[in-house]
Amino acid sequence: MLFQVRMDVKIPHDLPAEQVAEVLAAEKAYSQELQRQGSWRHIWRIAGQYSNISIFDVADNAELHALLSGLPLFKFMHIEVTALLRHPSAIRENDS
Query: What is the set of domains in the chain, with CATH numbers?
Result: 2-84 (3.30.70.1060)
Q: What is the C-alpha separation between 17 and 32, in angstroms, rounded?
A: 22
- Considering the chain, what is the average pLDDT of its residues? 96
Instruction: Give every strand in the sheet of 77-84, ordered side by side.
Output: 40-45, 51-57, 2-9, 77-84
Confidence class for position 93, pLDDT limits 50, 70, 90:
confident
Which residue(s) pair with 52 in the sheet?
A: 7, 45
Query: Per-residue pLDDT tens for 23-68?
Result: 999 999 999 999 999 999 999 999 999 999 999 999 999 999 999 9
Q: What is the pLDDT of residue 92?
A: 85
Reported confidence tier of residue 95, pLDDT bands at 50, 70, 90: low
From residue 75, give the alpha-carbon distance in Å to each of 78, 79, 86, 88. Answer: 8, 10, 31, 37
